[in-house]
Structure 1
Amino acid sequence: MRFSTFAFGLVASTVSALPSTPRDLLPTIVFTPGAWHETWAFDMVRGNLSVLGFPTEAVALPSVGSTNASVGLAEDTAALRAELTTLADAGKDIVMVVHSYGGLVGSNAVEGLDYATRAAAGESGGVIMLIYMTAFASPADASLLDALGGVALPWFDYSDDGNFVTPTDPKTIFYADVDDALSAEAIAGLKQEPARIFTDDATFEPWNNDVEVGFFFTLEDQAIPYATQVAMASQFPSGYFSQTFNSSHSPFLSMPLEVATAITLASTDALLKKLL
């Protein structure tokens, strides 16, 4: 589903009508990139959300660009968890948006930091929704490679020692519908990844532990096929928030306005569910 500029305008009008200081009322949107990507990936979406008054953060993953083969999912999880903890302890409502490999990072990091768990412990703040944007929602004790059937994808380019991975043909795999100039910049910004991120296991299933979840589907995705996305989301409880984009693996670059609008709608859904 593509959202129009008119729809974005309606959302902006609604947000601007909120009492006094919207940034104090709206949740903080925390982005987690996928493999090979740094936080620049979300700059355009964050800019659109800023116009609407949403505070945003994007977490840099230690594995991206690392030359240390031992850095993996645990280190990435710790980095995201530190940011979530800081925000939650400040009493902030949080909507997480995770992309691709970032799904495993987000799943692991959210444990104990969701709003309901913190409220039960007498604490304010916490994650009110975790959105998987064409992201891996892997069962506990399963890795990203397990989700791929145990076989590395043909476009995984391993270093000679097998310790690091880079993607071949990222234009086709990640950015097929992204403007050529922008996709060239994105490709230039990609970094190597330690191979272990693909074999480290998920440790937590948010959807089975009362964490509100959502999924953004991408129909033309060459990295995670639509059918695979649907299969992963089938684990979620009924009534989860979803939006579908006629995009490649990177809607945050090809349709940032539409993604920002969808995040706004998801945030509204999460806030309403929090109050019920």
Structure 2
Amino acid sequence: MDRGNLLLVPGAWHGSWCWDHLVPELRSRGWATSVMDLPSTSGSPACGVREDAEAVREALRALDGPVTVLAHSYAGVPVGEAAGSADRLVYLAAHALEPGESVAGVLGGTWYEPGTKLLDVPEPARDLLFADVPDALATWAVERLRPQSARVFEEPVTGAAWQKLPTAAILCSDDRIFPEVFTNRLARQDLVRYLPGSHSPFLSRRGELADLVCEVAEVLG
């Protein structure tokens, strides 16, 4: 089955590498997959939501035909800002902001020292992000995490594509890092599915996640 294009957008501290083990599962199910990196995880504190959103737009412009976007965690912010040209969205434990909101604003403030430009990897990363990932694979992932520009959590967005496009939410029932306020927001979507386990099912439950992506895409039409 040809399911069309699937653009995979990683969250904060992550890069396109995080999809390496999921992509074969998706391709075996008929997806033409594309992955990308976000500028805000390049080590430059000058990169924020605007730069990440433009990177998403560029990635979408490079694809012909129907496009589904899979956004993980923070990626929901630039995807919401920039992915209005997509056909459907899948928010995997992803931040859904309304116009005028920022992540820090929704959370009631920052969790880091004011004036911080680059945020170190959350600790303990193994427990917060990869709790149910096999040891060797979790070590591989932790070694690849990179500092994150703090600007992305402070800048408000102007768009919310998830409010306009067919959108599904996938939530992780044992997620230790995804804020409850965003969990509750996604849980109100018309199409919601749940996976057991941690914030990173693209490593721990690859087959199950690939099946869910196929299922929700078919329901969204």
TM-score band by shorter chain is over 0.9
In the alignment, what sits opposite 1:134? 93
Q: How does 1:145-160 map to 2 (within 5 A)?
A: 145-152=104-111
Q: Please give the secondary structure, in 2, of the residue aligned with 1:63.
A: helix
Q: Which range moved further: 199-208 or 182-191?
A: 199-208
Q: How does 1:1-276 map to 2 (within 5 A)?
A: 15=1, 22=2, 26-66=3-43, 68-87=44-63, 90=64, 92-111=65-84, 113=85, 127-152=86-111, 162-166=116-120, 167-209=122-164, 211-225=165-179, 227-233=180-186, 236=189, 240-271=190-221
* 2:11/2:74 contact within 8 Å kept: yes
Supply the distance in 1 between the matched residues of 2:160 and 2:187 (Cα, whole angstroms): 13
Q: Please give the secondary structure, in 1, of the residue aligned with 2:40.
A: coil
Supply the distance in 2 between the matched residues of 1:35 and 1:28 (Cα, whole angstroms): 23
Unmatched segments (≥5 aa) in structure 2: none
- Listed one character per residue, the Cα deviations across residues 65-106 of structure 1 (whole Å, up to 9, x for unaligned) are 32x32111111111111111222xx3x111110011100011
Q: 1:194 to 1:261 in 2, by over 3 A?
A: same
- Listed one character per residue, the Cα deviations across residues 144-165 of structure 1 (whole Å, up to 9, x for unaligned) are 112322131xxx5x6x972110
Runs of 4+ in 1 over 6 A off after TM superposition: none
Supply the distance in 1 between the matched residues of 2:115 and 2:185 (Cα, whole angstroms): 32
- Letter of the structure 2 residue corresponding to residue 219 of structure 1: S
Higher gyration radius (CA): 1
Q: 1:207 to 1:51 in 2, by over 3 A?
A: closer
In the alignment, what sits opposite 1:119? none
Supply the distance in 2 between the matched residues of 1:79 and 1:255 (Cα, whole angstroms): 28
* 1:99/1:133 contact within 8 Å kept: yes
Aligned length: 220
Supply the distance in 1 between the matched residues of 2:78 and 2:177 (Cα, whole angstroms): 18
* 2:79/2:161 contact within 8 Å kept: no
- Structure-2-length-normalised TM-score: 0.93
Supply the distance in 2 between the matched residues of 1:73 and 1:256 (Cα, whole angstroms): 28
- Listed one character per residue, the Cα deviations across residues 213-236 of structure 1 (whole Å, up to 9, x for unaligned) are 1100111111114x4344212564
Unmatched segments (≥5 aa) in structure 1: 1-14, 16-21, 114-126, 272-276
